[in-house]
Amino acid sequence: MSSPLKLAIFSTKSYDKTYLSTALSAHPTLSSKTEITYHPFPLSLDTAPLAAGHTAVCAFVNDTLDAPVLRTLHASGTRVILLRCAGFNNVDLPAAEEIGLFVANVPSYSPEAVAEFTLALLQTLNRNIHKAYNRVREGNFNLEGFLGMTLHGKTFGIVGVGRIGLALARIVRGFGCRLLASDPKPGMSGEEFKAQYGGELVELDTLLAESDIVSLHCPLVPATRHIIDTGNLRKLKKGALLVNTSRGPLVNTKAAIEALKSGQLGGLALDVYEEEGAYFYNDHSNEVIHDDTLMRLMTFPNVLVCGHQAFFTREALTEIAGTVLGNLEDWVEGRRCVNSLVSEGHLEVPEGREPVRM
């Protein structure tokens, strides 16, 4: 019998095991020869040696895949990096190219899941549903403090109209909002965007100045890091709401805190946070949280933070697991993988995305 294909999975949760093991049984060419090791902890320079002898490593959003980690993995036999997420800002792709690793991601998994969550998060903040839930449970049916705004007729700005941005555009249209979008490579003309989504493609400055709600859906690349900073926060309509379900470092959190204090920013709904890697996806309820910026953020009555869960639906997990194993199968069979970011020593980053070294 030939030696098994060893796959080490980092940052594993119970649902990863459930969905990946179900997907494995649907890939007969892999299931008979693949041996999976599940690690609950994240991938880092300290934990990378635990992947020794594993040809493939599967990682998630807050795992570290910088050059030292990639070199450590490669030196002990790893040839394949399987991301079980769309974003690849945590991978040093140029280093992976240099080393000769194969890297593939899951570019799309239910963009509607993220778009629907974005609207849910926005409306929870806007209509104070999270506070109402607690108040009513205590027998308090007072509405003081719950006043929100009607979305119908408001201007909704979407920054980045890729898969998720467009899924959100469809929802926003249904709410009867005026839709503005900004994207340096929108994938369609202004006329097409207007015809299909009823919106207008505009410059970021116009979007910021005219929107009542701004929602971020661009990837994290050097050009978008802190795309929402002090300068751009000043350009917002006073009291506008900001939603970020994309990547934490798109927003300069300290600048957002200042804008919340002055009232320039009317509310902030976050599913992602700049320094989320230290806390998200794990229970820290019995510890002292040392991130003062995060804790300050959570003291505002008009801030809502969730722990990077916009993708978290049964449908999305099924797609993610299926695609991860499909990518591995492509590599094993020597087939061209449509989701590869680096293959045979070449960067294959989809057009419009920059290789990141950060």
Which of 276, 333, 336, 354 is flagged as catalytic?
276
CA 89 to chain centre: 10
Q: Which residues pair with 213 in a beta bridge?
A: 156, 241
Which residues, 180 to 209, sit near ligand NAI by CB under 6 A? 182-185, 187
The answer to whether residue 224 forms part of the interface with ligand NAI (CB under 6 A) is yes
Can 276 be counted among the known catalytic residues?
yes
Binding residue for ligand NAI, selected from 54, 84, 154, 217, defined by CB under 6 A: 217
CB of 329 to ligand NAI, least distance (A): 23
CB of 271 to ligand NAI, least distance (A): 5
Task: For residue 314, count other CB atoms closer than 10 A to its CB.
Answer: 11
Closer Cβ to ligand NAI, 95 or 121, answer by number: 121
| Sign of the alpha-carbon torsion through 255, 209, 163, 351 | negative
Cβ neighbors of 319 (< 8 A, separation 6 or more) are 106, 108, 109, 110
Which residues, 108 to 127, sit near ligand NAI by CB under 6 A? 108, 111, 114
Contact (CB, 8 A) for 328 and 82: yes
Q: How many CA atoms lie within 13 A of 234 on its CB side?
A: 2
CB of 289 to ligand NAI, least distance (A): 21
Q: How far apart are CA 96 and CA 80, in angstroms?
A: 10
Element (DSSP H or E) covering residue 20: helix 14-25
Q: Would you give the binding string for ligand NAI spanning residues 333-352, x where CB under 6 A is met?
A: -------------------x
The closest alpha carbon to 20, from 35, 42, 4, belongs to: 35
Looking at beta carbons, which residue is closest to ligand NAI?
162
The answer to whether residue 73 forms part of the interface with ligand NAI (CB under 6 A) is no
Binding residue for ligand NAI, selected from 59, 82, 218, 255, defined by CB under 6 A: 218
Count the site residues for ligand NAI by CB under 6 A.
32
The closest alpha carbon to 47, from 67, 80, 62, 69, belongs to: 69
3-state SS string over 113-131?
HHHHHHHHHHHHHHHCHHH
Q: How far apart are CA 114 and CA 179, in angstroms?
A: 18
Contact window for ligand NAI (CB under 6 A) among 27-35, 62-70, 211-219, 251-259: 211-219
Q: For the chain, what is the radius of gyration of the CA atoms?
A: 21
Closer Cβ to ligand NAI, 157 or 267, answer by number: 157
Contact window for ligand NAI (CB under 6 A) among 194-202, 205-213, 216-224, 255-263: 216-224
CB of 302 to ligand NAI, least distance (A): 21
Which residues, 145 to 174, sit near ligand NAI by CB under 6 A? 159-165
Torsion of CA 239, 271, 110, 97, to 10 degrees: 110
Q: How far apart are CA 47 and CA 73, in angstroms?
A: 10
The answer to whether residue 247 forms part of the interface with ligand NAI (CB under 6 A) is yes
Which of 71, 247, 274, 319 is flagged as catalytic?
247
List, by residue number, the catalytic residues: 247, 276
Residues that bind ligand NAI (CB under 6 A): 86-87, 108, 111, 114, 159-165, 182-185, 187, 217-220, 223-224, 245-247, 271-272, 308, 310-311, 352
